[in-house]
Amino acid sequence: MRSLSFLSMEYLFLLMSILSQCLKFGSGTAAVVHAGNGDGVQPLSKIAIHKAVYALHENASVKAHPLVLGTKAERDGSNEYSNYQPGSLNTTDQLIKDLKNIDIVFHIGDITYANGYISQWDQFTSQVERIASTVPYMIASGNHERDAPNSGSFYDGNDSGGECGVIAETMFYVPAENRAKFWYSTDYGMFHFCIADSEHDWREGSEQYKFIEKCLASADRRKQPWLIFVAHRVLGYSSSYWKDASFGEPMGRESLQGLWQKYKVDIAFFGHIHNYERTCPVYQGQCMHVGKSHYSGTVNGTIHVVVGGGGSHLSAFGPTQTSWSLYKDSDFGFVKLTAYNHSSLLFEYKKSSDGNVYDSFTISRDYRDVLACVHDGCEPTTLGS
Ligand SMILES: *[C@@H]1O[C@H](CO)[C@@H](O)[C@H](O)[C@H]1NC(C)=O
Ligand SMILES: *[C@@H]1O[C@H](CO)[C@@H](O)[C@H](O)[C@H]1NC(C)=O
Ligand SMILES: *[C@@H]1O[C@H](CO)[C@@H](O)[C@H](O)[C@H]1NC(C)=O
Ligand SMILES: *[C@@H]1O[C@H](CO)[C@@H](O)[C@H](O)[C@H]1NC(C)=O
Ligand SMILES: *[C@@H]1O[C@H](CO)[C@@H](O)[C@H](O)[C@H]1NC(C)=O
């Protein structure tokens, strides 16, 4: 017991020094804190990244498996204050049960809700060790990893409890150019993933916007037909943002929908809101395809998915019924993607309680469907003579 509390004291000190440095550097420079001596870097996350850069296989059948949010709890039953993440162990257990059918996991923000209590990162890495030591465990940055006043975060809340992203970027490796700016691209088989950082400015003209455009544009859709956009906060559509009727972060959609459309993003995943919701292929608030379970032909809209029910207490939906929302579930769950080949994709939403599929759809189409000219999704052409 004594040595345990001594250990947690040490962690507390480490945290306090990170916290004070973070605050000291002030605006825009939370990046600096990284000591670079490898402290706290888990060997298992290094394994993960090596697998994540697997070469493209022309014909490999590759599954990918994004899930999100707060999958931390205490296995010994002691449970954290207020049992804040009641679904997390079920989610973890379902993933472990299905691990042989999973190639890569995306946990898109609000990883531990440690909020400055650094020992909770250790509880979490131990909880997901079976998963993260077997397949790449890719993370995105959420408000509970990053946000702190005057630390360069786009939002000024205290949500990270002073972590300022330092612990997340140290514990988990991602192939970002500068890990303090948590945006990156990663390829896996027939997928190209563009992971945005909703805690830094994404608007047109920003550094991140340029990255997002470059990342989307760099997908070779002949080899990587499945183009996936990921961010923590909802930059697309969610029926849970009812207060201002914006259905997403202010300026999110306005800034980015042009890019999703131009580069024909298949699916955009978000967390932040603790439930599940799936839209039709949508552009500017309009459904571009009819039907709920199968889509084929030209890519003229992006399917938006909130997959925020990884573990933390659930969120309600607003009262407004929209035409673009096709499936809503306020329960714990996660999403699995399976690309059978270059023209066929399966999407499944599973509940964490039983691992069964409650919502699904398929996409089938050819390379020429991706190239096809659609509204606001064409390269400008000239009539050469
Ligand atoms: C890919 O195709 C080649 C040639 O048809 C075949 O030999 C190989 O086993 C296939 N690989 C996979 C992973 O299906
Ligand atoms: C963040 O925490 C500090 C210190 O407790 C407090 O002064 C400040 O008002 C908080 N800011 C926000 C936006 O909650
Ligand atoms: C979008 O593409 C699908 C498939 O080709 C087509 O059926 C649908 O009419 C298109 N939607 C619009 C609004 O053009
Ligand atoms: C792709 O996979 C689907 C589902 O397994 C199958 O029906 C289809 O024939 C395959 N297409 C090609 C071109 O192999
Ligand atoms: C976890 O799964 C069990 C078994 O299916 C279920 O009874 C329980 O309600 C689930 N817990 C939560 C919080 O969903």
Residues 91 and 68 in one domain: yes
Residue 232 lies in a domain: yes
281 plus 154 within the same structural domain: yes
Average confidence score pLDDT of the chain: 81
Instruction: Tell me, yes or no, whether 326 lies in a domain.
Output: yes
113 near 85, Cβ under 8 Å? yes
Q: At 76, is the pLDDT very low, low, confident or very high (cuts 50, 70, 90)?
A: low
- Look at residue 187 and tell me whether its pLDDT is greater than 80: yes
- Can you read off the two tokens belonging to residue 85? 């993440």
Residues 115, 49, single domain; the answer is no
- Say whether both 51 and 150 belong to one domain: no
* Total of domains in the chain: 2
Contacts of 132 (CB under 8 A, 6+ apart): 42, 44, 45, 48, 105, 125
CA–CA dist 379, 15 (Å, integer): 49
Do both 167 and 56 map to the same domain?
Answer: no
20 and 119 part of one domain: no
Q: Does residue 304 or residue 385 have the better pLDDT?
A: 304
59 C-beta closer than 6 A to ligand 1: yes
Tell whether 210 and 294 lie within a shared domain.
yes
Q: Say what the pLDDT of residue 155 is.
A: 95
Q: Whose CA is nearest to atom 13 of ligand 1?
A: 60
User: Nearest bound ligand to CA 55?
Assistant: 1
Task: Say yes or no to pLDDT of 18 above 50.
Answer: no
92 within a domain of the structure (yes/no): yes
163 and 214 part of one domain: yes
Structural domain including 24 reads 7-60
Q: What is the mean pLDDT of residues 261-281?
A: 96
Cα dihedral sign, 120-121-124-129: negative
Ligand closest to Cα of 343 equals 4
379 assigned to some structural domain: no
- How far from each other are the two terminal CA atoms of the chain, in whole angstroms? 82
User: 129 and 33: one domain?
Assistant: no
Residues with CB under 6 A from ligand 2: 149, 156-158
> Does residue 300's CB lie within 6 angstroms of at least one atom of ligand 3?
yes
Residues 136 and 188 in one domain: yes
Q: How far is ligand 5, taken at its centre, from the CA of residue 197, in Å?
A: 31
The pLDDT of residue 68: 54
Supply the pLDDT for residue 3: 31
What is the maximum span of the chain, computed from C-alpha positions, in angstroms?
A: 83
pLDDT at residue 99, rounded to an integer: 87
324 in any annotated domain: yes
pLDDT tens figures, 282-318: 999 999 999 999 999 999 999 999 999 998 999 999 9
Question: Ligand 3 pocket, 297 CB below 6 A?
Answer: yes
In the predicted model, is pLDDT for residue 60 greater than 50?
Answer: no
**Ligand number with the minimum distance to the CA of 330:** 5
* Per-residue pLDDT tens over the stretch 311-367: 899 999 998 899 999 999 999 999 999 888 899 999 999 999 999 999 999 999 999
User: Do 91 and 220 sit in the same domain of this protein?
Assistant: yes
- Separation CA 148–CA 273 (nearest Å): 20
Mean pLDDT value across residues 177-201: 94
CATH of the domain at 320: 3.60.21.10
21 with 161, same domain: the answer is no
Who has greater pLDDT, 171 or 79? Answer: 171
pLDDT digits (tens, 9 = 90+) for 229-261: 999 999 999 999 867 778 999 999 999 999 999
